[in-house]
Structure 1
Amino acid sequence: MRGGNRARAWVAGAVTAAVAGAAVLSGGGPGALRVGRAYAAPRAAPRSAARAVVLDTEPPAALVDPFVGTGSGGRWVGRINAFPGASAPFGMVQWSPDTTSRPQGGGYDYADSALTGFSLTHLSGPGCPVAGDVPFLPVAGDVPAAPERATAQFRHDSESARPGYYAVTAGQVRTELSTTVRTGIARFHYPRGRAAHLLVKVDGGATRDSDGLVRAVGDREITGQVTSGGFCGSRNRYTIYFAARFDRPIGAVDQWPGTTAGATLSFDPDADGTVRMKSAVSYVSADGALGNLEAEADSWDLDQVAAREQDRWNRQLASVTVAGGTRDQRSTFYTALYHSLLHPGVFNDADGRYPGFDGQVHRTAPGHTQYADFSGWDIYRCEMPLLAMTVPDRADDMATSLLNDADQGGWLPKWPVANGYTAEMSGDAADPVLADVYAFGDHGFDARSALRLMVHGAEDPPQPPGQGWYIERPWGAEYLTRGYVPSTVPAPAPGAPTGRAPADRAPTDTAPPGPPPPAAIRHSASTTLEYAAADFAVSRLAAELGDGATAQRFRTRSHNWANLFDPATGYIRPRDADGAFPAGPPVDVRDGHEQSGFAEGNAAQYTWMVTQDLPALIAAVGGPGAATARLDTYFTQLNAGPGRPYHWQGNEPGFATPWIYDSTGRPDRTQAVVRSIMDQLYSPTPGGEPGNDDLGAMSSWYVWAALGLYPETAGAPLLALSTPLFPRAVVHRPGRPDLVLTTTGSGRFVSALARDGVPSTRTWIDPARTGRLDFILAAAPDPGWGTDPADAPPVLG
């Protein structure tokens, strides 16, 4: 082991001092880092070899900037599509402004200067229009002739936002918003002497599918509904119901003529021009929305509601505490953590009811929650491990929610919206999501039933081929027969497997309403890689549950990536039904083109997405030296987009690639590249993310990177190492000991490490067996740390 003794000498001399210095920070008293509401000023740290750490006295919610991600990040980033409005952690309601260009999901573009309304539902940064349901727009004075198209001018200097609160002055009306999990509260302050109106734009959502309706209930309440859906062109549909209650009588309800559902409400505001409104949504019924209103909207005091919500966010964000660094770094970190905790969202009403994938109303078990809107292709890579570690009870319910979806609809879903399939994106993301929760969480869901459903989705393609557009693995029969998804449509394979249901669960295999969507592009190479990664996740869960036969079968299939490795070019490439690689360049940079074989990327980017078999991949490209050289060239651009053979940080398949150097004997390169991505592509600005937030996936990468950790292989309970950003960080794991990380020295390179007080040169940890990591940093790479082949992350069988 090259340089091992010298590394141990560093640890022996310095870790003791680092631990001693940190002891002041981890003990009781006013300097303690705590979960919850205690944010007392720290006492002075002693002089020692450790870096002096000044604890931040600001609560974490005060460091969050909800405007991060509401702008554009440049040519290949485009709109990040986050939203700035109010939401509870994992809330059902996200009450946020929509601007005139109506960006996808988030509904708000920082470059715009006019609002179309404040709608009740949003998703943070998806790549297709969705949500934006039931906008309300206050209007002072005359009502526009076409109220459904009305807008209100605003300036950013009139805006403010923090977790659980948003405010703006638009069209002369000051609007303030806050939320609970299922409800919202608004305070509209109209100018004195002007008529006070509120436009209810029921049909104003991002994906309204059919005309909605709004009706008055007494003189202070309205209810209504609208059907939306069609996410990314899918056949998915859902109906959302809403209820709104006001603190004063509605003077008039003027229904809009024509086919556009909507109404103008008129009020006589109080003496200072204020009208207050409570709202709620339900996916079950209008009565469900009213029930949610009764259960949660207990106050007309918006300031009180917002304060409670900020306190809730402080407790949630304190699942990870950091100290030191600059304020911008802490703001970027806690904003990223905030985005990671917005989704998936609560889907059941306060009484437990929710609509299932079979169209029937179901009820959650007491004390549990049904969640919806899983951006699976994105979140399985690093967001779900983060949630499983920090909010394991919620992660367990998220896993159970997917199992419920499969019970009702026949298959584990990918990118489900509300209670329906969309079949969006390639791969079989539910498998690694479930395996992640088991690997990093507390095993509080029915893992054996999960395994049976995963096997069903992987091995039971519908017959005849082509039926069941909503299944987990399109072209799954071809994958099972050939070991890859071919780029051309083959003739039916003899002996193709027939469909069968899992032993203890009986999915309905009933297609969702409506005809199937247009035939999807195969993206055959990336689909094969995704299926192989999902197979590895299934094998890991099976091994943990003692099912050796299933574990071996799926582990064997997880090597299928090798069937697409072209030794003549050194890249993963598509193959046709006859087994031939395409003529032409090895890296086809036509993004999304059928012949390129890849979804949102190219061969240069996807070839590295084989984290379950890194030693074999590294050997295939020529060994550690050749792999390092290729990666060095690849990382000369950090966010190149889909059309160049360089890294694209703004797209999830490349998330783990910077950590591959840990397996080539150059952990210093991982440390340098990860920090460069953090410094150059993330910032506390509207354009401060390298791509679509994708329901927190892009943000969760930063959280892990700032901790100096990364869940490199989906389903495997291993974390690859880089360099922590902060002198001290604590990951609070409910039901388990905290994971404490400290750094001593300056620079971005690791020269020594102690794991639980014992010197270590390994570039990975098992978080279940690790409670403390003390890093010693240097300004230059140390060839004696982490460079031996035995130091690299292991390959799990």
Structure 2
Amino acid sequence: SEVRIISDKEIEGYTRVRGGWNIGEPYTVYFYAVFDTPSDDCGTWKSHRVEPGKREQYDTSEPTGAYFSYRTSDKQKVTVKVGISYLSTGKARMNLSEMNSWNFDEVRAACVSRWNEILNKIEVKGSDEQKKIFYTALYHSYLQPVDKTGENSKWISDEPYYDDYYCIWDTFRATHPLFTLLTPSKQVDMLRSLLDIYRHEGYAPDARSGDDNGRVQGGSNVDILFADAYVKGLKGIDYELALEAMIKNAEVSPGDDERKEGRGGISDYNEKGFVSTKLERAGTRTMEYANCDYAIATLARGLKEKEIAQKYMERSRNWQNLWNPDVESLGFKGFVWPRYSDGSWWSENDYSVFQGGTWPDFVYETFSWELSFYVPHDVNALIEKCGGKEQFTRRLDTYFSHEKWDQRWYMGLFQISNEPGFLTPTLYNYVGRPDKTAEVVRKTLKERYNATKEGIPGNDDSGSMSSWYVFHALGFYPNTGQDLYLISSPTFEEAVIHLENGRDLSIKAKKASDKNIYVQSVKLNGEPLDACSFKHTDIANGGTLEFVMGSKPSKWGTVGVENQL
């Protein structure tokens, strides 16, 4: 740290930060502070040594600061404004010049007005409690990543620059699709930023903070964001460059630090078709890389790159290479299972399919029961592996209702507090049982979200838990990387989404209530919708979704999911 007292009203300095969640390189935060009242005395300090009257402390890698002292009258207020920058104290001073007012309430009101530009994009008709939870969730969804355009400390570029992706492994499932629906121009800017990072640093990150990439938790999930943008028609993205970045992830090892970027263990994955037990997070990596390969195939197909599309479509089936049909649990056979380099299966009897995991383990923030449902790009093949629709339905029933293994689990084995289970409730739609999707979703919304300090089911992970709530409260949920929304159970009788293009998407759910959770019928843009899914391109230019809700399951949606790519 370094600090300097410029006058009896001004202080400037910086602090250099090391470490942090992504174990990244050091970065520096500069500040400039100005007070509305002249100080009577001043001084600085370093570590535990206070030095009255000294106006500067240079950087010695010790904690450093400055202080002003005041002889105030009764109820006198001293106000300070602070500007920050990642480039220099001069830039911090320039940034502060954007704030003209010294009136706190006026500044706060301006901030509220800016936030309402986002929050007012969705208008809902419901109780005060419902609105409080919903709009808090929407607010949380837009906290990260952070727009640091003009504050890039690494290189000069005309492209947008975003930092604090904490991380795409969490946010690709719901948060980024929410941006695509509500503020597609922001999502485009974020993807352009990710591509600019690729241009200058060699990898589009899965996570980034402090201007440095890290850490990769599962797959190279930025791949799925590029595919999602393409199939949903977002313009202004260099998709050829995106495909290049995706193939770099899939083919070039990140080297010694496999948690920093790219795909760890791809030497195994590309040679054997799975990541073996000699490498960490082998199960999670294999399953997620298969979905990422499907994203590559999707974009390549769109760009008329037929050979690339075919190659990665074949690789997208690699999840089957960790499917052990002989493993049995709770009356069901076939699970994702550890596999040695020689192709043989993990044989120890005490390895439980309920086992959770973290960085060095076979699975990451999940367990084999849950991870075995994670084939979002090939659900129909998964259903076949599980023994067909009826057996798959029974397996989902067990997952959501089995007696708790321990206090980590909620509602059977389903843990909404971690992202790998986000899509699982809507898998019922693929077997024509949207009534069961509605039951699980509504129970989760009611019991795991509220307006208290414990109002979300786990770490919000950059708005992930909150974005999950926003989507399901509206009545649908994305399967990211595909032009596909899966219908669940709308909670509001009326909701209007004011799209960025100036048009509206009107959502009406007649008779929706805590009792009437089952969809009886749906009209999309005035036409009956028999499938329990629809496309983003059906609503991107506005339209209407009209639900009729009831207290008992109906025959609606039994045709299952259409339009899966």
Q: Same fold (TM over 0.5)?
A: yes
| Residue in 2 that maps onto 1:738 | 504
Residues 1:526 and 2:284 aligned together: yes
CA distance in 1, matches of 2:16, 2:33: 18
| Residue in 2 that maps onto 1:183 | none
Shift in Å at residue 469 of structure 1? 5.9
Calculate the aligned-residue CA RMSD, in Å: 2.2
Shift in Å at residue 468 of structure 1? 6.8
Shift in Å at residue 561 of structure 1? 0.8
Q: Which amino acid aligns with 2:528?
A: P
Residues 1:455 and 2:244 aligned together: no
Q: 1:252/1:429 Cα in 2 relative to 1: closer, same or farther (>3 Å)?
A: farther
| Residue in 1 that maps onto 2:398 | 633
Q: 1:281/1:536 Cα in 2 relative to 1: closer, same or farther (>3 Å)?
A: same
Shift in Å at residue 641 of structure 1? 6.5
Q: 1:253/1:267 Cα in 2 relative to 1: closer, same or farther (>3 Å)?
A: same
Identity percentage over the alignment? 34
Instruction: Indicate the SS of the match to 1:576.
Output: coil
- 1:780 aligned residue (528, 537, 552): 552
Shift in Å at residue 269 of structure 1? 4.4
| Residue in 2 that maps onto 1:478 | 268
Q: 1:270/1:544 Cα in 2 relative to 1: closer, same or farther (>3 Å)?
A: farther
- 2:129 aligned residue (321, 328, 331): 328
Q: 1:637/1:362 Cα in 2 relative to 1: closer, same or farther (>3 Å)?
A: farther
Q: Would the aligned equivalents of 2:24 and 2:210 in 1 still touch at CA under 8 Å?
A: no
Instruction: Indicate the SS of the match to 1:275.
Output: coil
Q: If the length of structure 2 is used for normalisation, what is the TM-score?
A: 0.90
- 1:339 aligned residue (137, 140, 147): 140
Q: Which amino acid aligns with 1:355?
A: S
Shift in Å at residue 538 of structure 1? 1.9
Residues 1:566 and 2:367 aligned together: no
Q: Would the aligned equivalents of 1:602 and 1:642 in 2 still touch at CA under 8 Å?
A: no
Instruction: Indicate the SS of the match to 2:212.
Output: coil
Alignment of 1:288-687 (within 5 A): 288-294=91-97, 296-323=98-125, 325-348=126-149, 352-356=150-154, 361-365=155-159, 369-374=160-165, 375-440=167-232, 442-461=234-253, 466=256, 470-488=260-278, 522-569=280-327, 570-583=334-347, 584=349, 587-592=352-357, 597-636=362-401, 646-687=413-454
CA distance in 2, matches of 1:399, 1:244: 34
Q: Would the aligned equivalents of 1:586 and 1:603 in 2 still touch at CA under 8 Å?
A: no
Shift in Å at residue 594 of structure 1? 7.6
Structure 1: runs of 5 or more not aligned:
1-211, 490-521
Task: Return 727-736 or 391-400, whichever deviates more.
Answer: 727-736
Q: 1:755/1:594 Cα in 2 relative to 1: closer, same or farther (>3 Å)?
A: closer
CA distance in 2, matches of 1:736, 1:587: 52
CA distance in 1, matches of 2:503, 2:553: 32
CA distance in 1, matches of 2:25, 2:338: 30
Q: 1:336/1:595 Cα in 2 relative to 1: closer, same or farther (>3 Å)?
A: closer
Q: 1:595/1:411 Cα in 2 relative to 1: closer, same or farther (>3 Å)?
A: closer
Q: Would the aligned equivalents of 2:409 and 2:415 in 1 still touch at CA under 8 Å?
A: no
Q: Would the aligned equivalents of 2:207 and 2:213 in 1 still touch at CA under 8 Å?
A: yes
Q: Cα deviations across residues 50-109 of structure 1 (Å, max 9, x unaligned)? A: xxxxxxxxxxxxxxxxxxxxxxxxxxxxxxxxxxxxxxxxxxxxxxxxxxxxxxxxxxxx
Q: If the length of structure 1 is used for normalisation, what is the TM-score?
A: 0.64
| Residue in 2 that maps onto 1:225 | 14
Instruction: Indicate the SS of the match to 2:486.
Output: strand
Instruction: Indicate the SS of the match to 2:401.
Output: coil
CA distance in 2, matches of 1:637, 1:316: 40
- 1:244 aligned residue (33, 37, 41): 33
Q: 1:378/1:594 Cα in 2 relative to 1: closer, same or farther (>3 Å)?
A: closer
Q: Which amino acid aligns with 2:364?
A: A
CA distance in 1, matches of 2:403, 2:117: 34
CA distance in 2, matches of 1:398, 1:780: 43
Q: Cα deviations across residues 701-739 of structure 1 (Å, max 9, x unaligned)? A: 000010111012x21111000111101112222127422
Shift in Å at residue 609 of structure 1? 1.0
Shift in Å at residue 393 of structure 1? 1.3
CA distance in 2, matches of 1:435, 1:691: 28
Q: Which amino acid aligns with 1:345?
A: V
Q: Would the aligned equivalents of 2:22 and 2:213 in 1 still touch at CA under 8 Å?
A: no
Structure 2: runs of 5 or more not aligned:
48-61, 328-333
Instruction: Indicate the SS of the match to 2:40.
Output: strand
CA distance in 2, matches of 1:279, 1:224: 11
Q: Would the aligned equivalents of 1:602 and 1:643 in 2 still touch at CA under 8 Å?
A: no
Shift in Å at residue 793 of structure 1? 3.9
Q: Cα deviations across residues 452-491 of structure 1 (Å, max 9, x unaligned)? A: 11111211225xx6477633111112111111111125xx
Compare relative contact order (CA 8 Å, sep 6+) and give the higher one, 1 or 2. Answer: 1
CA distance in 1, matches of 2:299, 2:548: 35
Residues 1:707 and 2:470 aligned together: no
CA distance in 2, matches of 1:604, 1:469: 25
Q: Which amino acid aligns with 1:308?
A: A
CA distance in 2, matches of 1:249, 1:637: 67
Q: Which amino acid aligns with 2:190?
A: M
Shift in Å at residue 425 of structure 1? 1.4
Q: Would the aligned equivalents of 1:215 and 1:224 in 2 still touch at CA under 8 Å?
A: yes
Shift in Å at residue 436 of structure 1? 2.7
Instruction: Indicate the SS of the match to 1:551.
Output: helix
Shift in Å at residue 595 of structure 1? 8.2
Task: Return 384-393 or 577-586, whichever deviates more.
Answer: 577-586
